[in-house]
Structures are given as C-alpha cells and as structure tokens.
C-alpha cells in the first residue's frame, strides 16, 4: 500500500471544502474483477481491421459495447485507426474522440490502435506519427486516473495478435501505464500458428503451467513480481543473494515456489542458473531480470568500485545469463519470455546516478539488440522501465524529493510495486508474442524523458 498522505487528504471531505486538487485513487486489478467497470465505446477510422475483434473481446469478457457516446460514463474508448493514412482521417479521429473523452469515467481507458509508419508515403507516415503525439497529449488531459495509450500494429499482424495487449491496456492491470506507445508485430514462435492463438486461455490464471524465475526476488519490486506471477498461475523460482536468504525463503513459501540463493555476479552464475532450471524444473518459460543495486554519487566524485558494482549487477549479469539461455536450447522453452527491469533513469537520466542510469540504459540497448536472436528461438525479450515507485527505498527519501517524484506525472502519484509486476505478467504471457524488443514505461506518464 502507498503511504501517500497528500493523496489520502485530497480525497477527504475537508479537502473539497478547501479547494485542494484531488489526487485520484486508481482502480487496480483484483482476481475475479471484470475487465471493465462500465461500457466501452469502440469505433474505427478508415479501413481499420481490429474494431470487430476488440468489440468481441469486450463482449466475451462480459462487457457492453456502445456505437456512440450517450449520457452515461464510459469505462473505455477504443479507436481502431490502423487504416488512418490522410489528414482527413486525422480529422475523423478527432471527431470520434472529442465527445467520447468527455464521457470517460474515473480510471477509464483511452486506447488507440494505429498503423506502423509507411516509409514510402509521407502523408501516411506523418499521420502514423501524429497519433503518438495525440495519445501522449491526451494522457495529460484525461482526468480522475484515466489513461491513454497507443498500440502500433504491424500491417501483417492478425487480430488475435493484439488480444493480450488490448486486454492489458483496458484492464486495471495497467493502472500506472500511461502515455505509452507499444508496437505489435507478427507473433514469434508457436503463437504464429493461428490455431495456437485461438486456444482457450485461463483469463484468471493466464500464466498457468509456466515456470518463472525472478532475480532480486527477496523484497520490493522483485517480491511483488513473484507474488503477481504466482497469483496468475506461474511456478516461481525466486533468486537472490545468500545474505537475503530468510526473506527469499519467505517469498518462495508464500508463492508456493522454490528459492535459489545465488549471486548473479559470480563467475559461475550464468552456468548455475540455467543448469538449475533445466535439472529441477525441466526448463523455464519466463525469466525476469529484476536484480539491481544503486551506489549513487556525482560523476565528479564517482569511484571505480561504485561504478563497477552497479554495472556488474544491473547489466553485465543479465548479458551473461541471456547468452547462456541462447546457447542452451534445453533451458528456455517454447514461447519463452525474457523481461528485463530497466528504469526511467535510463531514459531521462538522474542527478547523482550516472552509473545507475548507464546500466539501465544499457539494459534497453541489450533488449533491442537481442530481440531478433530470441525471436529465432521462438521467444521474446522486452523491458519495463519503472518511474517513481513507492518502495522502502523511496520511503526513506527526504519529504520534498519524495513529493516531487510523486507529482511529476499525469496521474500525480507514485506507482506501486504491483504496477511493475502486472506489466511483467502481461509481457510474460504466451499470447504476448507480438511484443518484442519493446520498452514499456511504468511511470504514470512522467514528464521526465520521452
């Protein structure tokens, strides 16, 4: 739970009388919760290919689909603009969205599906890029915990390829993901088979039958990831250093998983971890590179020990383990998913964190470079980049620094560890094979960075 006293105060009756701006309480996912808390408005511009599939998805989830906004509040607005290619089409996008966003409910969802840029048609490329600017701005305008995001869909992607991503961005699982642009390509691996895409999926436990290893799992975001993946059906292998053994055992016991005490920077770690997964679990489906440390210092005062320690844990260990997974085809199973925890600091930078920012930016570079290699194995690799997340570490910050971190985003509050975990869970699904080499910020659309 967040210890955001200002948010709590802003929602009290006295705050309304004093005119204190309200910080929204976000709708977050709970098992058994409906996909949406109200009706969805679904439309299309031009020759959109996905509106019918999205409508069917909402209805299959027990929701109601509207053709036009009425007097009631709308839980989600979905516009299929994959057919938009002209300035006139952009005018149609505006005409659809303007009356719709006026009716958007608290914690509502604005989701656009857009085309990939056309390198041969300047107007079509401009329109595709314009949708990004529109969505990022809309994310700063919608109120009461609502979010706006864009899925850029490859021209040859089938409707089933967007299913898991549409579900995630419409659901309460994406409460702190705002102003993001995610590309969806033709799924890699087994999901390329349309029959496989149509196989029944347990919507309550979408990770059932999958083995997930989480590094840095003893506390904080890592523990939340382990808890969330276990809740969604995964068998957990919790990894952390021997010094965290007691806390690590608690996480493993709580999730019904196993604990592996391992320093991922050790010379033999990249060999020991795959061997353990292969011998004890028959392989692994999801690998979450979460382990990370900070050793903050201004660059002018940075010493080699602080620099090297951070790069070793946050980047070099991930590189070695990923190389080992690629080298041994007995470890990473079909529809394997690698999820690396980066940081907003790696995108926007942060004073006193040149070592940390370098390591987290390096994670992004690694993900983009390895995406084609993992795709050859039928697997994906992606990164999540948290912004200000309410943890024990941020709770120890000076009050002014903590408040600034909370308020400089469109949702005007810090995220929770579970927000990062929900995003990891979505990227870990077998269905999410069309998302590869992507970086998804979990930051409430922070104004820092892109």
pLDDT above 90 coverage of the chain, percent: 77
pLDDT at 450 over 60: no
Do residues 303 and 297 lie in contact, with contact meaning Cβ atoms separated by under 8 Å?
A: yes
Its pTM stands at 0.93
pLDDT at 196 over 90: no
**Residue 303 has what pLDDT?**
95
| pLDDT mean over 195-222 | 84
Instruction: Kindly state the DSSP code that residue 315 receives in the 8-state scheme.
Output: I
pLDDT at 267 over 50: yes
**Average pLDDT, rounded, for the chain:** 91
Distances (CA, A) of 269 to 239, 264, 333: 11, 5, 20
pLDDT at 119 over 90: no
Q: Which residues have a Cβ under 8 Å from the Cβ of 114 and sit 6 or more positions away?
A: 81, 82, 84, 128, 131, 132, 150, 151, 152, 153
Angle, helices 163-170 vs 51-60, to 10°: value is 60
**Residue 60 has what pLDDT?**
94
| pLDDT mean over 135-163 | 94
Catalytic residue numbers?
Answer: 356
| pLDDT mean over 397-425 | 85
Q: What is 5-27+35-186's CATH number? A: 3.40.50.720
What's the pLDDT band for 200 if we cut at 50, 70, 90?
low
**Residue 6 has what pLDDT?**
64
User: Out of 3.90.550.10, 1.10.3720.10, 3.40.50.720, 3.30.70.3150, which CATH number does the structure's domain 200-442 have?
Assistant: 3.40.50.720
| SS3 call for 3 | coil
Q: What does the domain layout of the chain look like in residue ranges? A: 5-27+35-186, 200-442
What's the pLDDT band for 241 if we cut at 50, 70, 90?
very high
**Residue 449 has what pLDDT?**
65
What's the pLDDT band for 13 if we cut at 50, 70, 90?
confident
Unique residue bearing structure tokens 């300047």: 122
- Within 13 Å, how many C-alpha atoms sit on residue 304's CB side? 0
Domains 5-27+35-186 and 200-442 share a fold: yes
* Token pair belonging to 327: 């080298």
């Amino acid at each position: 739970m967040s210890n955001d006293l200002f948010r709590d105060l802003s929602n009290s009756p006295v705050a309304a009388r004093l005119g204190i701006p309200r910080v929204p309480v976000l709708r977050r996912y709970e098992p058994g919760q409906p996909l949406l808390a109200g009706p969805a408005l679904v439309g299309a511009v031009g020759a959109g290919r996905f509106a019918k599939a999205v409508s069917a998805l909402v209805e299959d989830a027990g929701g109601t689909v509207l053709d036009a906004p009425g007097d009631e509040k709308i839980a989600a607005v979905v516009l299929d603009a994959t057919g938009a290619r002209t300035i006139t089409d952009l005018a149609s996008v505006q005409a659809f969205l303007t009356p719709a966003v006026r009716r958007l409910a608290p914690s509502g969802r604005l989701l656009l599906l857009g085309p990939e840029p056309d390198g041969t048609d300047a107007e079509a490329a401009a329109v595709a890029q314009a949708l990004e600017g529109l969505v990022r701005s809309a994310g700063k305008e919608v109120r009461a915990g609502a979010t706006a995001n864009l899925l850029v869909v490859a021209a040859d992607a089938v409707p089933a390829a967007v299913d898991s991503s549409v579900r995630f961005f419409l659901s309460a699982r994406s409460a702190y993901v705002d102003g993001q642009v995610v590309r969806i390509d033709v799924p890699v691996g087994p999901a390329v088979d349309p029959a496989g895409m149509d196989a029944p999926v347990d919507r309550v436990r979408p990770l059932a039958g999958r083995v997930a290893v989480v590094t840095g799992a003893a506390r904080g975001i890592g523990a939340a990831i382990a808890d969330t993946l276990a809740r969604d059906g995964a068998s957990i292998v919790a990894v952390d250093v021997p010094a965290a053994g007691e806390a690590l055992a608690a996480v493993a016991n709580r999730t019904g998983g196993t604990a592996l005490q391992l320093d991922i920077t050790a010379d033999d770690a990249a060999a020991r971890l795959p061997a353990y997964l292969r011998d004890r679990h028959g392989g692994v489906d999801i690998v979450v590179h979460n382990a990370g440390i900070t050793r903050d210092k201004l660059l002018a005062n940075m010493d080699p020990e602080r620099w090297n320690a951070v790069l070793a844990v946050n980047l070099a260990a991930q590189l070695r383990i990923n190389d080992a997974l690629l080298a041994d085809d007995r470890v990473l199973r079909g529809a394997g998913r690698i999820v690396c925890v980066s940081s907003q600091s790696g995108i926007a930078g942060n004073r006193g964190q040149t070592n940390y920012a370098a390591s987290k930016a390096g994670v992004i570079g690694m993900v983009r470079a390895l995406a084609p290699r993992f795709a050859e194995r039928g697997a994906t690799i992606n990164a999540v980049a948290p912004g200000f997340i309410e943890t024990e570490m941020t709770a120890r910050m000076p009050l002014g620094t903590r408040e600034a971190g909370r308020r400089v985003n469109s949702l005007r509050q810090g995220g929770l560890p579970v927000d990062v975990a929900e995003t990891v869970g979505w990227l870990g699904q077998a269905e999410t094979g069309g998302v590869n080499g992507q970086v998804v910020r979990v930051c409430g659309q922070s104004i820092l960075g892109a």
